[in-house]
Amino acid sequence: MPDSTQLHWETRPVDSTFVGPLESEPGVLVHSRRDREAGAETWLSLAAPDVGAALREWKTWGVALLRCGTNFCAVRIPAGIIHAAAGTTDRVEVASYLSIALDRGPCFFDGTDQAFYALTPASTAHRWDVPGTEALGGDHFLGVPSTSINEPDPRCASYWVVPMEGPAALCDPEIVRWLVQRGRIQRSEAAALEAGEDA
């Protein structure tokens, strides 16, 4: 006759719908990617004029209109600057570079205006002065993709290049400043080199 403990575990039904933190070691909880996405999306939705409408827009269209300047500021960086900083235009390589360069701070790409948006604390807009970029705060509205969209999606032109780690997990503005300056320098050096070759 089998051990009763063994029988219990062999016949116990598994609830595959359970989503919650797992304990990796005593006292340390690890949240699943789905948990982090849901938490980040709930937090982002608070910046919408109508939270319910934003959640429906994400589900239907993949993107929702959010107000900048309260929960976050969005620093708009032209794709050319990011590609110069990364030294590539390859989507996967750019994502890998930005994840490291931004210290996993959230950033999404908008194919409509060919720009990357790094989400930073709302106060960033008051002191941002980096040429060639714009810090969206105050009364700016921005189409922000669902946190579940981490690659090009037929529903919308935007996707997360570096997904949000969780609620209020934002980029350090000084790291974003450094990234932009690096991209500008790299682009200037490439242009000078090309001009020298053409001379």
Residue 113, classed as helix, strand or coil, is coil
Q: Tens digit of pLDDT for each residue in 150-181?
A: 999 999 999 999 999 999 999 999 999 999 99
Q: Tens digit of pLDDT for each residue in 124-144?
A: 999 999 999 999 998 799 999
What integer pLDDT is reported at residue 96 of this predicted model?
98
Give the mean model confidence (pLDDT) for residues 29-50.
84
B/e letters for 118-143, b = 16+ CB within 10 Å, e = fewer, are: bbbebebbeebebeebbbbbeebebb
> In degrees rounded to 5, what are phi and psi of residue 57?
-65, -40
Query: Cβ contacts of residue 164 below 8 Å, gap of 6+?
Result: 36, 37, 40, 44, 106, 119, 147
